[in-house]
């Protein structure tokens, strides 16, 4: 392909992109293909001869699109959203065109310096402590792993990186029963051992009970363990529960325990003053992560990781082979030393585009709209005699079930499982489920970039109609 053809194709594809996003509601939200259906349509081997872009693109539309679940559909309510937005997509086009490898300052100074500035913008937007330092990671999972590794190295003063675990076989890490699976994963990879991850019980609102944490730490110390790290969650994945940070931070401080805050989803809400109470006590924590790639209109991947002690992070990850040495190492941020991979994409550009194109007020008003339409639907469900909310509505997510009059408790799970299946098969909405204190709940996140009142009105109609159509005897 030459530049002339690239130009023609790119123009056509930009038109396709605009059409796709404009008409996205015509697609079924969740792909309905069967396992192997896509795989079996793709040739066994790469073509030996060049193929025309028309042909390749034709196959994209015909064979790939049917197997896509449309995350940018306004009625995508599953998991948590993975938002993009027009300005973010434009920035990603430029990023991939430039194709820079942004591992060190030298390999693209603008990428490193824009990243530094964007992390300051976000820190300000969320009201994080002014003396904390941020870096973009690919995902919250990587950020949490980086945090646990840093806690480990800070405590052992680099011993484990140097000599291995000898003499350090008694670490304990704590999180609530509702914590995201990425904490389990990080504990395994960090060599702590999953049996040393202590899951602390939660209260009626699914938030960690600090008294139970205090007790667990006390007992572990008596048994000779070293409590290394606590992970507190603001906005758990199951129900968006909020762990009581201030109390947890107090306990960590008392025992010299590292505190990591996982706000992967709900951290974005800190852009709103009315949510700042969640981070009271953060000055006693050590690290914080949130994902602009979830609820801040920025394409995956873009995870913002903040640390109080920047040097501890660098000490954990720093490498300096001769071929990566440069003359400016002392004056600049070489982000290869701030996380696990060496290679890095230029991810700050999309944040810059998004924050400038929306403006802070634009971001805030979009978030408030999401929160308002969620609250309205929550009231409708509460008032409805046959629907029930199963968790507090802290942000823009509802956990609910249909509870027809007279249906025995033991039939409710199956009934609601069937309801979810029918809703998702309709192609009009996509939701997922969770279990709350043993009960099956539908889980509806209302945070897609362009979701509006009308989409939620339609979804609520559909939920009621579908629920009533199910046999209840």
Among residues 149 and 264, whose Cβ is nearest to ligand PLP? 264
- The CB-of-314 to ligand PLP minimum distance in angstroms stands at 22
Q: Which residue of 84, 88, 95, 141 would you call a contact of ligand PLP, by CB under 6 A? A: 141
Q: Which residue of 264, 279, 354, 371 would you call a contact of ligand PLP, by CB under 6 A? A: 264
- Return d(Cα 386, Cα 345) in angstroms, integer: 49
Interacting stretch for ligand PLP, rule CB under 6 A, among 115-123, 204-212, 257-265, 383-391?
257-265
Please confirm whether the linkage preceding 301 is cis (ω < 30° from 0): yes
Binding mask 39-78 for ligand PLP (x = CB under 6 A): ----------------------------------------
Among residues 75 and 434, whose Cβ is nearest to ligand PLP? 434
Q: Which residue of 262, 297, 339, 391 would you call a contact of ligand PLP, by CB under 6 A? A: 262
Instruction: Return the structure tokens found at 361.
Output: 């007020």
For residue 413, CA distances in Å to 205, 439, 441, 442 come to 20, 7, 8, 10
Interacting stretch for ligand PLP, rule CB under 6 A, among 66-74, 102-110, 232-240, 443-451?
232-240
- Return d(Cα 334, Cα 457) in angstroms, integer: 49
Exposure string of 263-299, with b = 16+ CB inside 10 Å and e = fewer, is bbbbbbbbbeeebeebbebbebbbbbbbbbbbbbbbb
Nearest in space to 142 (alpha carbons), one of 293, 353, 276: 293
What single-letter DSSP state applies at residue 13? H
Among residues 72 and 291, whose Cβ is nearest to ligand PLP? 291
Binding mask 74-93 for ligand PLP (x = CB under 6 A): ------x-------------
What single-letter DSSP state applies at residue 447? -
Interacting stretch for ligand PLP, rule CB under 6 A, among 48-56, 114-122, 230-238, 247-255?
230-238
Alpha helices (runs of H) in 130-176, residue ranges in sequence order: 140-156, 159-163
Interacting stretch for ligand PLP, rule CB under 6 A, among 49-57, 102-110, 229-237, 335-343?
229-237
Alpha helices (runs of H) in 285-385, residue ranges in sequence order: 292-295, 310-317, 348-383
Is the CB of residue 228 less than 8 Å from the CB of residue 236?
A: no
Interface residues for ligand PLP in 164-183 (CB under 6 A)? 180, 182
Among residues 104 and 234, whose Cβ is nearest to ligand PLP? 234
- The CB-of-265 to ligand PLP minimum distance in angstroms stands at 4
- Return d(Cα 339, Cα 17) in angstroms, integer: 33
Rg of the chain over Cα atoms, rounded to whole angstroms, equals 24
Residue 205: phi, psi to the nearest 5?
-95, 10
- Return d(Cα 260, Cα 151) in angstroms, integer: 9
Among residues 141 and 394, whose Cβ is nearest to ligand PLP? 141
Among residues 132 and 288, whose Cβ is nearest to ligand PLP? 288
Among residues 207 and 463, whose Cβ is nearest to ligand PLP? 207
- The CB-of-233 to ligand PLP minimum distance in angstroms stands at 5
Among residues 202 and 291, whose Cβ is nearest to ligand PLP? 291
Interface residues for ligand PLP in 295-324 (CB under 6 A)? 303
Q: Is 265 in the site for ligand PLP (CB under 6 A)?
A: yes
- The CB-of-470 to ligand PLP minimum distance in angstroms stands at 30
Instruction: Return the structure tokens found at 330.
Output: 């002392």
Among residues 142 and 156, whose Cβ is nearest to ligand PLP? 142
- The CB-of-51 to ligand PLP minimum distance in angstroms stands at 34
Cα angle: 96, vertex 99, 102; to 5 degrees? 120
Residue 228: phi, psi to the nearest 5?
-95, -45
* Residue 230, strand partner residues: 174, 259
- The CB-of-268 to ligand PLP minimum distance in angstroms stands at 11
Among residues 251 and 264, whose Cβ is nearest to ligand PLP? 264
- Return d(Cα 298, Cα 41) in angstroms, integer: 32
- Return d(Cα 85, Cα 449) in angstroms, integer: 7
Q: Which residue of 85, 95, 233, 424 would you call a contact of ligand PLP, by CB under 6 A? A: 233
Among residues 240 and 416, whose Cβ is nearest to ligand PLP? 240
Residue 436: phi, psi to the nearest 5?
-120, 115
Strands 287-290 and 303-307: antiparallel
State the number of CA atoms in the 13 A half-sphere of 356 facing the CB.
11
Site residues, ligand PLP (CB under 6 A): 80, 139-141, 180, 182, 233, 236-237, 262, 264-265, 291, 303
């Amino acid at each position: 392909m030459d530049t002339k053809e690239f130009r023609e194709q790119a123009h056509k594809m930009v038109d396709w992109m605009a059409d796709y996003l404009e008409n996205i509601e015509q697609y079924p939200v969740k792909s309905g293909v069967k396992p192997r259906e896509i795989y079996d349509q793709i040739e066994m081997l790469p073509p030996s001869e060049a193929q025309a872009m028309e042909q390749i693109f034709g196959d994209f539309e015909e064979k790939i699109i049917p197997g896509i679940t449309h995350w940018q559909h306004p009625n995508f309510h599953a998991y948590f959203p993975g938002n993009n937005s027009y300005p973010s997509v434009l920035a990603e086009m430029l990023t991939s065109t430039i194709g820079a490898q942004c591992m060190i300052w030298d390999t693209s100074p603008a990428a490193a310096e824009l990243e530094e500035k964007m992390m300051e913008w976000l820190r300000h937007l969320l009201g994080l402590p002014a003396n904390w330092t941020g870096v973009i990671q690919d995902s919250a999972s990587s950020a949490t792993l980086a945090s646990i590794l840093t806690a480990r190295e800070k405590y052992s003063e680099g011993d484990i990186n140097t000599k291995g675990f000898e003499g350090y076989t008694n670490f304990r890490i704590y999180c609530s029963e509702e914590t995201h699976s990425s904490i389990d994963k990080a504990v395994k990879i960090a060599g702590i051992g999953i049996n040393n991850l202590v899951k602390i019980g939660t209260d009626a609102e699914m938030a960690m009970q600090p008294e139970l944490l205090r007790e667990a730490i006390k007992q572990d110390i008596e048994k000779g363990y070293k409590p290394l790290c606590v992970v507190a969650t603001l906005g758990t994945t199951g129900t968006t529960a909020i762990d009581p940070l201030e109390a947890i931070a107090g306990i960590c401080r008392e025992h010299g325990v590292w505190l990591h805050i996982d706000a992967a989803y709900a951290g974005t809400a800190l852009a709103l003053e009315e949510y700042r109470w969640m981070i009271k006590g953060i000055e006693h924590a050590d690290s914080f992560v949130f994902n602009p790639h979830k609820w801040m209109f920025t394409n995956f991947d873009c995870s913002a990781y903040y640390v109080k002690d920047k040097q501890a992070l660098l000490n954990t990850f720093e490498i300096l082979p001769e071929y990566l040495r440069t003359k400016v190492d002392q004056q600049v941020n070489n982000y290869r030393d701030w996380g696990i991979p060496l290679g890095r994409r230029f991810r700050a550009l999309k944040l810059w585009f998004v924050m400038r194109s929306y403006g802070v007020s634009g971001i805030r008003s979009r978030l408030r709209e999401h929160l308002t339409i969620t609250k309205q639907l929550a009231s409708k469900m509460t008032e409805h005699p046959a629907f029930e909310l199963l968790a507090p509505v802290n942000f823009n997510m509802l956990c609910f079930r249909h509870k027809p009059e007279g249906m025995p408790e033991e039939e409710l799970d199956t009934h609601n499982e069937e309801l979810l299946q029918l809703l998702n098969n309709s192609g009009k909405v996509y939701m997922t489920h969770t279990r709350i204190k043993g009960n099956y709940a539908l889980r509806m996140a209302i945070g897609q970039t362009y979701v509006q009142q009308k989409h939620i009105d339609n979804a609520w109609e559909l939920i009621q109609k579908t629920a009533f159509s199910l046999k209840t005897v």
